[in-house]
Structure 1
Amino acid sequence: MRLYAVTFGIAALAAGVCGAQEDRSGWPASFTVGTASQGGTYFAYGSGWANLVADELGLSGGGEVTGGPMQNMALVHTGDAAFGMTTMGPAAESLAGTNPIAPGLAMDKACAMFPMYQTPFSVTALSSSGITSISEIPDGARIGFGPAGSTSDTYFPRMMETLGVNFERRNGGWSDLGGQLQDGLLDVIAFAAGVPVPAVSQLEVQTDVNIIEFTEAEQATIMEAFPVSEFEIAANTYTTLEAPARSVSMWNFAIANCDLPASFVKAVVDVVMSDNERMVGIHRAARSTVPSNWDKNKVMPWHPGAAEWFAENAGADIPADMIYGQ
């Protein structure tokens, strides 16, 4: 896949930004953050914190459009991207060597860096379709599942099949799929993205949509079959919602190449985690980007620099066997 860099900041005047005594031995002069497709939460969130870190640390850095969590694990593992973002499901599959991008390769050079937010799984259709529930999705419906290999594309088709939905699978970036839904080329979009999803917010401005929640029984079925937890999309997330919408979710974490200098990763974590209000200004999903959520990672080894920051600032008691190189 061709990557398009969105770069921010400059390397000039880098020295002294984080204190005159700071040891920057081995730090890269620039960095990239693997995100996902434009129109999705990963791109907005990831490009935002890349910009913030570049500005604060005086480096050249930015976000890259990618195929999402699975590809980000591969890019960070190989070092083609210093940082990336992933969800717990794709992370576990990548560590086990079942990432479809490189079957058989255990991607153990991608380390946990900081908690981001939960990814709710939600369904959107045009109001004119008359679809108001999962059970009303017609046989053979054309469903957009996001970019190939994304969290949504990896898990949502399986979820739909588990719930007895028969569909035609379509892939693409969220913005593109939103346009196809509006043009009648799709019947439903199955989103797995932090809320509010920019593509859904844009659709709300342009047309009437139904944001479809899971029933209690559907939610229980999905939670039993997949590595997800109970979630509720708040009513104020979208103008369309009049009440909270029942959903399921999967945690997202920022990841770093495990061989990056500990002092560099610690400094990046400090920029992101030390001012939540600033992060929420980048994207509302960052309300969950707080130090106390460090314990939501039960899959990936921690980068030593990140583990040190959370031990010092969040009282994290991370087992040694969960820290890379220890």
Structure 2
Amino acid sequence: MKIHTQILAAAFSLSLAAAPAYAEEEIKLTKPVMSAASQVGGSLYVTYVAAWIQAVTEKFPGLSITQEPGGSSQNVVLVSTGETDFGITASSQAYLGYYGKEWAKGVEYKNIAGLHPAFPTYMTIVTLADSKIKTFEDLAGAELAVGVPGGGSDVIAREISAHFDVVPARFINASWEDTGGLLRDGLADAVLYIAGHPAGFLQEQEVSNDLRFISLSEEQIESFLGAHPYYAPVELKAGTYKVLDDKFSTIGQMNFMIGSPDLPDDFVTALLDGVYSRVDLLERAHPNFSETRVENVRGIPVPLHPAAKRYYEERGIEVREAPAPAN
């Protein structure tokens, strides 16, 4: 999918004590066409990046941004190698890729910089209400659908399986557009999905099927987070799905936008101003996108672009990095 938007804008100058002011001269673009990697169809990444492109290009005259397919870990590679200018990723894949761990297989993809938070994700394990799977431990020997290879759901499914030694018979990789059908038709016993909610494919399922959400105990959540510091405890709101009468405690992470550390400082500052000034546009695309808030930058576990770091610090926002993994 390719998106081209051109809207005239003025350059951005930062003021600590007041709202941002605009200079009359234009910010010079390094190139007129840029690209942003998202994911395949059916993902909130595609929806977010489409709205994000509109918000960003409203700030710059003559700029077009194309949306390209990818995935959480793939986008780290694409940005680090210069194949795309921007990408959306999740805290786990970015952290592991930056330090060359697990999926990165020793290759450190350090030519990336955090720009801003996008939206948090919530891990859910879902099956049909009449399934024999009632606890997390029941996933041992099951057919578990986990989305596209290398995506956020695929990664955390394998991490959590290994951590608790609860091993499915098979991890099924498929698009989210196909996953609902796999669950409905009995070709998958359960689905592990970490992303924004409500998810369209789950909403479609609950129209004709009763669902069951598999929970983790507080002790299990604490144990997993102790070994994986790039995740966080989160709560899915009651009513997100018909079966959820109360809040649902689970594990989550932050999705965020990355770019090259070499992007010009004034361009990054203006980009951030453009995004944060159009959160209303993002929220119209999906309610979870309202979480594109400056304070959520704490969920980004890799170094920020220098201009982004200044942007948040000048607004009194704490900037943190997750500790490097032990060797």
Q: Sort the TM-score into its range (normalised by shorter chain).
A: 0.7 to 0.9
Per-residue deviation at 1:258? Answer: 1.6
Alignment of 1:179-198 (within 5 A): 179-198=181-200
Letter in 1 for 2:204: Q
The number of residue pairs the alignment matches comes to 309
1:9 to 2, 5, 18: 5
1:192 and 1:308, CA in 2 relative to 1: closer, same or farther beyond 3 A?
A: same
1:60 to 48, 64, 68: 64
CA RMSD of aligned residues (A): 2.5
Report if the CA contact (8 A) 1:35-1:84 is conserved. yes
- 1:323 aligned partner: none
Aligned to 1:171: 173
SS in structure 2 of the partner of residue 267 of structure 1: helix
How far residue 114 of structure 1 moved from its aligned partner, in angstroms, is 0.4
In the superposition, relative to structure 1, how do residues 222 and 207 fare at CA in structure 2: closer, same or farther (>3 Å)? Answer: same
Gaps of 5+ in 1: 320-326
Partners of 2:55 and 2:281 within 8 A in 1: no
Shift of residue 302 of structure 1?
A: 1.5
1:308 CA drift (Å): 3.5
Change beyond 3 A, Cα 1:156–1:293 = same
Q: Could you tell me the TM-score, scaled by structure 2's length?
A: 0.84
Q: 2:239 aligns with which of 230, 236, 240?
A: 236
| Structure-2 separation of matches of 1:41 and 1:178 | 15
The answer to whether the 8 Å contact 1:69/1:85 transfers is yes
CA–CA separation in structure 2 for the residues paired with 1:217 and 1:144? 25
Query: Residues 168-188 of structure 1: CA distance to partner in whole angstroms, max 9, x if unpaired?
Result: 111122222222112221111
Pick closer, same or farther for the CA change 1:15–1:252 going to 2, 3 Å.
closer
| Alignment equivalent of 1:94, drawn from 93, 97, 100 | 97
Q: Against the structure 1 CA distance between its residues 244 and 132, is the aligned structure 2 distance closer, same or farther, given a 3 Å change threshold? A: farther
Counterpart amino acid of residue 191 in structure 1: Y
Separation of aligned partners in 1, 2:56 and 2:292: 15
2:127 matched to which residue of 1?
Answer: 125
1:41–1:198: 8 Å Cα contact kept in structure 2? no
1:204-233 CA-to-partner distances (Å, cap 9, x unmatched) read 234322222222232233223322221111
Deviations 1:118-157 (A, max 9, x none): 22211111223243332333x4211011111112212222
Shift of 1:16: 5.0
Alignment-derived partner of residue 275 in structure 2: 272
Q: Secondary structure at the match of 1:121?
A: strand
Deviations 1:58-116 (A, max 9, x none): 532243221x2211111111221111112222222212223645x44322211000012
Aligned to 2:38: 35
Q: Tell me which residue corresponds to 1:294.
A: 297
Letter in 1 for 2:122: P
Evaluate the alpha carbon distance shift between residue 200 and residue 8 of structure 1 in structure 2; reply closer, same or farther with a 3 A threshold. farther
Q: State whether residues 123 and 213 of structure 1, in contact with CA within 8 Å, keep that contact through their aligned partners in structure 2.
A: yes
C-alpha contact (below 8 Å) 1:266/1:308 kept by paired residues:
no
Q: Which amino acid aligns with 1:183?
A: D
The separation in 2 between residues aligned to 1:251 and 1:281, in whole angstroms, is 20
Q: Is the 8 A contact 2:79 2:86 kept in 1?
A: yes
Task: Determine if contact 1:111/1:302 at 8 Å carries over to the other structure.
Answer: yes
Alignment of 1:70-149 (within 5 A): 70-98=73-101, 100=103, 103-137=105-139, 139-149=140-150
Contact 2:11 2:24 in 1 (8 A): no
Identity %, equivalent residues: 27
Unaligned runs of 5+ in 2: 13-21, 321-327
TM-score scaled to structure 1, two decimals?
Answer: 0.85
* Contact map agreement 1:32 1:81 (CA 8 A) in 2: yes
